A and B are shown apart, each in its own frame.
Chain A
Amino acid sequence: MIQVQDLKIHYGDFVAVDNLSFSVKPGTVFGLIGPNGAGKTTTIKAIATLTEPTYGEIMLGETSVLHQPEQARRILGYMPDFPPVYDDLRVEEFCDLFAHAYGQSSIERKEKVEKALAQTELTTKRRELCKSLSRGMKQRALLAKTLVHDPSVMLLDEPGANLDPKARIDMRKLLRKLADQGKTILVSSHVLTELQDLCDEIGIMRNGKMVVSGSIEEITQRKKSARTLEVEIAGESSKLSEWVEQWPTLSELKHRDESKTQFDIIHSGDREEIPEILSQMVRHGIKVISFTTRKSKVEDLFLEIESGSTEFDQN
């Protein structure tokens, strides 16, 4: 649904986005991650028709954002990273304004506003002036405004930034539900744990470039660097440490959480080698209670990218 191809955005001599390409399938949530200044907001603004790219193409289905911005705007919903609202409008008037601007009839508007307020749990706040809302509530009002014209593509820049934990969980559920209904959602966030549960795919950006993108599993598999094996044993640990020293691709046996029976072992070999390690361990007389490969979390991936790791296969 969203197809970004060779996108370049220059501000004078500064290159904000450099040769960026990625795609988001319909009905999926794509998370854009990166440090400050990576180009996430600029990319989202370009897709939202608010920043004109220097070069490249952005397609929303069959619609070109650059050449048919009016058509693109009809299917887009955009929520910026800070929540500006019309302070002197009531919450329902704020949503109604946008439903009206998107050409809906008064009956249709009433229904859509009602639905958007219910989805964002703002029904009880509908008569309040926007200026009296907390930041989190403003964020919800903004989401309601984004939903009111039923866009098929939603661009959300830091949607959970100002929300309390419960509201964050509610928003995550709502976005998931919207994606399941077929909406394409592109979300940028610094709350990385949130993305792990929400996103079907992620893209990590650095210095205007996409360093890696795909599902979290795919990225983890493509990761060439060492992984951690979590092992719990019964009995003496000396046997395990002797055995680890002999195995060439295993290193750094560490006690986990001050436990005497739980260990982290760094493995730098291929994934295919892992079943063999387990069977040899058992054959060697080590009493294995549990054996798991720790899944790399989004945070781990992000931190590695942030630290300048180049150990990823480029797309």
Chain B
Amino acid sequence: MNPLILKGIRENLRFKHLIAAGLFSLIVCSTVYLTAFLQGSEGKFSVNPETKEWVKGEDSPVNGARNAFTFLLALQGFYLMFLGTGRVASITAEERESGLLDYQRMTPMNPLSKIAGYIFGIPSREYYMFLFTLPFLGHAIIAGELPWGNIIHLYSVFFCSVILYHLTAHAVGLVVPKPRAASWVSRIVVLGLYVVLPGLGQAGISFLSFLTILPTYFGKILPVIQKEGDHKKGDFDYESQITDFWQDVPFFDFTISPTTFTFFMQGLLILALLVTGYRKWRNQALPALSKPSAFFIYSIFQFLLLGCLWTFFDRGEASGLIGQELSANEFYRKEERIMGLILVISIFFSLSVLFILCLINICCPNRHLYLKGIQRIAKFNLARIPRIADESSGLFLTLILAAITLFTYCLLISLALDSEAWELTSTFHSLSLIPAAILMLAVIYLQASRELWFNLGFWGFVGLLWITPLLASLVIGVGWGEENMSLILRLLAINPLSIIPMHWMYEHADIGNLPEEITQNLESAIWFGLLIAGVFASVLQARLFFLRKK
């Protein structure tokens, strides 16, 4: 057995823990299950058409068990996904702070075994508590006549998600210094990554929805529960809308089952987190990702974005709420469809730039690391630091990431321009040049600022440059909006993420019937934004260059 799993069991499952945790889980689980079962199995009241009196229907243990199943699943999720995740993060951070992690780092165990030891050993008590829910689960499946195939689908995804969350927590624990902070940060990261971000799936970027267990639950379990349930025809059937929505995932010109797609998505994330964990275990000082792995992960991210947005740009069809609401539908006017397109393009750019921002944060060397690189090349008589080394400047990687984004963007706008669904009036060049310029300039100044100032200075700079003008424009817009439209647009244009929708609105001013004045303001704001980005890019790069030369 893995020594660290054995350690986790010894620490967390001594006799007193076995009794206390077992009793706790049994009491909570039986209460939840029985309450849900009894409530669900009660017959429903209905009006007898002949006597016009309210009559109670027959009690149904099948419905009771099905009702209890969902509550049981939530309880299992609470044990493993909430309690277990927090525990993995806090214990990892605690051991890192105290120096215990250094002992483990020094043992000759493979880093992957160490990761496995931590993510399965630390939450051993939560797994033990989970065991006590299994008899109830068995009852729910048999009494509720739930198909085993669907249950196996669901629990495969459930455990995949648990591993993903615990791995995320372990990675957070390796990075966040304070144990209590790590516990909460990990829960917030898990909520953000796996609950908030999947919300963007509703905006057509369906792959983000598959970071959670929900697609499989809605696609595989809810239809089964609902089918034998007591919904009546003619009622507003909210659940059937949800199940229809999760039946398959559009990806390029195919559709993929939600379970397969969830495995694919979560597998990728697990891979990325394992790379991070592996590097951190080998050497705490190493950046979380190497430059080649950052390139690889970002390429897959762009591939997924492209696959999910393909049908939307090609035929105007998409999954999620935005797909349902804004697809090329004969009932929607052209300008409304274009607004939908602009929204999706903006989300695409925002996600891409934020991802690049994270990778710049991870992969660009600080001065200490760069200096180390310089000393090493002197030692080994090399002409320059190899581009893929952690110590090398991040400019090359950053430009490649921006180029990949532009490639995806160009493919998408080519599809949209050729599509009859959108009837765009612009040309490929006019839609691609400004976004390409702003993206390149933005990543160049972000990389330079990261390598110049590193942590606090970098995030302060990004906050001041990107957030403050947005807030200022909001205040001016609310107070003195009409007379200061030009100023508001210029302030907005300082943030490169705002330039993309502004540029698209400018390009399609005729479709949106924008007034001439607004169109001119948009144009000048876009050029102003480009000028600002250009100035920052050249000044910061020059400063970095001279600093390094010195």
Contact = CB atoms under 8 A, between A and B. Distances in A.
B98 A50 contact: no
Interface stretch (A27-35, A98-106, A302-310): A98-106
Contacts of B104: 101
Contacts of A51: 285
B11 A74 contact: no
Interface stretch (A85-93, A182-190, A245-253): A85-93
Contact of B99 (A76, A80, A97): A80
A89 B99 contact: no
A263 interface: no
A73 B100 CA distance: 15
Nearest to B107: A101
B106 A84 contact: no
A220 B406 CA distance: 70
B281 to A, nearest CB: 11
Contact of A12 (B109, B367, B376): B367
A86 B109 contact: no
Interface stretch (B2-10, B201-209, B226-234, B487-495): B2-10
Given A12-B367, A80-B102, A73 B107 contact: yes
B13 to A, nearest CB: 10
A49 B100 contact: no
A74 B106 CA distance: 8
A93 B103 CA distance: 15
Contacts, number: 79
A88 B375 CA distance: 44
Contacts of B379: 55
Interface string B363-389: 000111001100110010000000000
A89 B376 contact: no
Nearest to B367: A12
B57 interface: no
Given A55-B375, A84-B100, A78 B106 contact: yes
Given A12-B366, A54-B371, A84-B99, A98 B285 contact: no
B105 A50 contact: yes
Given A55-B376, A89-B10, A73 B108 contact: yes
Contacts of A52: 283, 285, 372
Given A8-B375, A52-B283, A86-B100, A100 B3 contact: yes
Interface in B283-297: 283-285
A97 B106 contact: no
Nearest to A8: B375
B102 A50 contact: yes
A217 interface: no
A10 B10 CA distance: 40
Contacts of A93: 7, 10
Nearest to A155: B106
A70 B103 contact: no
B285 A54 contact: no
B189 to A, nearest CB: 26
Interface in A62-80: 69-70, 73-74, 76, 78, 80
A89 B9 CA distance: 10
A82 interface: yes
Given A80-B99, A97-B6, A101-B3, A55 B372 contact: yes
A12 B376 CA distance: 16
Contacts of A10: 368, 371-372
A84 B14 CA distance: 21
A48 interface: yes
Given A10-B368, A55-B379, A88-B11, A145 B106 contact: no
B329 to A, nearest CB: 58
Contacts of B102: 48, 50, 78, 80
A55 to B, nearest CB: 4
Contact of A54 (B4, B98, B283, B372): B372
A14 to B, nearest CB: 9
Which one of B6, B102, B282 has the highest number of Cβ atoms from chain A below 10 Å of its Cβ? B102
Interface string B85-117: 000000000000011101111111100000000
A55 B379 CA distance: 8
Contacts of A103: 108-109
Given A55-B379, A89-B7, A89-B10, A84 B105 contact: no
A171 B369 CA distance: 40
Nearest to A49: B106
A74 B14 CA distance: 31
Contacts of B368: 10-12, 54
B199 to A, nearest CB: 39
Given A8-B375, A52-B285, A97-B3, A102 B98 contact: no
Contacts of A98: 103, 107
A256 to B, nearest CB: 47
Given A50-B284, A74-B108, A101-B107, 10 more contacts: A10-B368, A50-B106, A55-B379, A69-B282, A80-B99, A93-B7, A97-B7, A98-B107, A102-B108, A103-B108
9 contacts: A54-B375, A70-B108, A74-B108, A88-B14, A89-B11, A93-B10, A97-B4, A97-B6, A97-B7
Q: Top 6 closest A-B pairs, CB basis? A: A100-B3, A101-B107, A84-B98, A88-B11, A55-B375, A101-B3
